[in-house]
Structure 1
Amino acid sequence: MPETQVAAAEASSPESVRWDPWDRDIARDPYPVYRRLRAEAPLYYNAEHDFYALSRYDDIDRALLDWRTFSSSRGPILEIIKAGIEIPPGTLLMEDPPAHDIHRGLLARVFTPRRVLSLEPQIREMCTRSLDRLAGVGSFDFMTAFANEVPMRVIGMLLGIPEADQQSVRDRADENLRTVPGEQMAVSDKAIPHADHFAEYIDWRTEHPSDDLMTELLRAEFEDTEGVTRTLTRQEILTYITVVAGAGNETTARLLGWLGSLLARYPDRRAELVANPQLIPKAIEETLRFEPTGHAIARYVTTDVEYHGTVVPAGSAMMLLVASANRDSDHWTDPDIYDIHRKTGTLRTFGLGTHFCLGASLARLEARVAIEEFLKRFPTWDVDWDALALSSTSTVRGWETLPMTVA
């Protein structure tokens, strides 16, 4: 082990403090581990898997804002960084400026605040349709019956994918993130977007333009990194579409799942929302802080950088534990209390800086409309806590199944 890594390992003492993104026992409740990391090993080194981790709010902010030192060009997932594989151009999550800014600007045209808000009636209609099928059903799995379906329909609408094909698109996105419990992602097969299954939609939309994301990307002109004004290549469009489909489906579904379980665990907060639906946006923000769907963002360290008296060498993988930052007691009052009245303007669930999530406003809108409509139908519900199951991924934390009984 290099001397710098030995020093980092010593800085991570006591040895009993351990965080492993593939450890399913830790994943069940990682917050006690995060608390100890912040207190005892703010710069943590995992010798088994050869990566560093930051857990304090201020340290993570510094890293998120310094994209030159903490690069996204090798990917935002630990397995991808360690594999050292080539990233396809146009994969926003895996780029640095200036290419990132150019490609992000194209998608930003689609996710403007006005355009996102204009989707509310359609999202509400989708939620209503899903909930109509649950009328008179006393018990169901919240994830499969509702939480997974809403974002799937919204993303399908944005991409112009026929409704009959939307489930298969979601299944592919879900499969790309899934791992064997306790094992790492198979990078060669799953980590990098494979977009061939979208090709037929792109080809059809070329001949039949519409008001959707595919048509927008087909028509968009931009100046590339070589200074050439052009439209996107077919392969670039396929990559964009795959990134949007994957990110938009999984994270929003898991957010809805956390809302469903937390509001069952804290029925007094749920009663407040039923009595005053205007509190729902605050409840969503607190859920994003309290139980974020993505707990860690990976970065590739491009140059030596010092944290807490230890130098992290260039070429290292760094994990930024945003879920820990969201519960840092130096930044939040009573961070382990679920408080739907909390001011949460500085949560880090959607990142910060260059890579702040483009779909954040859409996710918030979907969650607000979905919970508004669900509470109208079901003001109370119980969860079968013994039958809950976490999803088997190392990148997204949320419920695979959430069985509930409604009044």
Structure 2
Amino acid sequence: MTTTAAEVYYDPYDLELNKDPYPMFARIREEAPLYYNAQHDFYALSRFDDVNKALIDHETFISGKGALLEIIKSGMDIPPGTLIFEDPPVHNIHRNLLSRMFTPRKVLDLEPKIREFTAACLDPVVGTGRFDFVNDLGEQMPMRVIGMLLGIPEAEQRHITDHGEATLQKEKVDALATGEVFAEFLDWRAEHPSDDIMTDLLNAEFEDETGTVRTLRREELLLYLTVIATAGAETTTRLIGWAGKILAEHPEQRADLVANPDLIPAAVEEILRFEPPALQVARYVTKDVEYHGQTLPAGNAVLLLMAAANRDPRRFPPDGDVFDIRREARQHITFGAGTHFCMGNALARLEGRIALEEILKRFPEWEVDYESAQMSHTTAVRGWASMPTRIP
């Protein structure tokens, strides 16, 4: 029986707690490193080494029953093509298809277009005295980049991202999107091939787990496109929203970035570490594992608290709760680890760097309008639906 301090409590569905979970995460790390929540029947790991090792150990901590607590608890069947809810060898086969589309060269080639999209979002608000990091940029630029990569016409891109956000914005994500929102585009692209990911996926041949050489089935393709569109835009949207808040609260570091733009890549990493878009990821446990003298039993769901691990002082000394763009570089786990390490990490980092470069050129100072700011309420991702600021 796992024992915890009675007053230590974490509920991923408690919206009030999740507005600032870090004081509780600090207590869980120190007082209950193997935490158990009886109400929702899940375990949680919070220390960096424990979370990192669990993410890498895909045989003990599997994704095939879902990567969200409510999906694991539902016992639902996971349809093929849901990349983030797959285990090797099927996951590796599907991942390899996408990895060739996110090579470092292909990502770097996007920089001029990303900068163009960013400038198009920012220039209209110059001189207005106000700028919303999410509505004016965070929801716009990443959407246009993913739309361009997939080959979605600009007029339809908002509809696609709204569909993805609607799936994530439920308080509990208890069902999977079918991907049917892409059906019309997929059929059209099959008749009109182009230089985009959708065309590449339509034509890609691979050897599946049965040894059969084939192309992706329609249902697999639709789910693939849903994962790419949602995950591809969501991380950067949250990153940009958090950048607005964090840098307003650390004006001296913001001024440092204005004076020294070479620090911007390090600032992007620190923002990702300090406020990751996802607080946690869930796994299903296939065998008993010992942690700190206690047993995490097989057959249970476990939350890997990546946001807690990212602030573990053992990994980020002397104090992981301090935001510091000049912190010694150490790998965080905002993008995961192991076989499920985020393939879009280079794209998110590039978009984040360009966004900060272009914002700071135009707006070296700002103040957050907290009365108008709105958090995004979902268990899948954590961030801002609106991050309005006043520009002097």
**TM-score (normalised: structure 1):** 0.94
Match of 2:341 among 356, 362, 365: 356
Match of 1:168 among 155, 159, 172: 159
Match of 1:262 among 242, 246, 261: 246
Match of 2:362 among 372, 377, 388: 377
Q: Select between 287-296 and 228-237 the one with higher mean Cα deviation.
A: 228-237
Q: Report the equivalent of 2:274.
A: 290
Q: Contact conserved, 2:62 with 2:286, CA < 8 A, in 1?
A: yes
Matches within 5 A, 1:4-403: 7-8=1-2, 11-12=3-4, 14-180=5-171, 184-185=172-173, 187=174, 191-333=175-317, 334-403=319-388
**TM-score (normalised: structure 2):** 0.98
Distance 2:289 2:230 in 1: 32
Distance 2:183 2:372 in 1: 39
For structure 1, the 5+ residue unaligned runs are 1-6
- Kindly tell me the number of residue pairs found equivalent between the two proteins: 391
Distance 2:371 2:19 in 1: 13
Q: CA deviation at 1:364?
A: 0.3
SS in 1 for 2:255: helix
Q: CA deviation at 1:64?
A: 1.0
Q: Residues 20 and 344 from structure 1, CA distance in 2 versus in 1: closer, same or farther, beyond 3 angstroms?
A: farther
Distance 2:316 2:356 in 1: 26
Q: What is the identity, as a one-letter code, of the residue corresponding to 1:43?
A: L
Distance 1:319 1:131 in 2: 38
Distance 2:247 2:356 in 1: 10
SS in 2 for 1:379: coil
Q: CA deviation at 1:74?
A: 0.7
1:181-224 C-alpha deviation (Å, 9 max, x unpaired): xxx33x1xxx3132111011111111111111001101111111
Q: CA deviation at 1:270?
A: 0.8
Q: Contact conserved, 2:81 with 2:219, CA < 8 A, in 1?
A: no
Equivalent pairs: percent with the same residue? 56
Q: CA deviation at 1:136?
A: 2.4
1:105-130 C-alpha deviation (Å, 9 max, x unpaired): 00001000010000001111100111
Distance 1:125 1:204 in 2: 27
Write out the 4+ residue segments of structure 1 that deviate beyond 6 Å after TM superposition.
Answer: none
Q: Contact conserved, 2:164 with 2:230, CA < 8 A, in 1?
A: yes
For structure 2, the 5+ residue unaligned runs are none
Q: What is the identity, as a one-letter code, of the residue corresponding to 2:325?
A: I
Q: Contact conserved, 1:148 with 1:253, CA < 8 A, in 2?
A: yes
Q: Report the equivalent of 2:390.
A: 405
Q: CA deviation at 1:171?
A: 0.7
Q: What is the identity, as a one-letter code, of the residue corresponding to 2:207?
A: E
SS in 2 for 1:133: helix
Q: Contact conserved, 1:173 with 1:249, CA < 8 A, in 2?
A: no
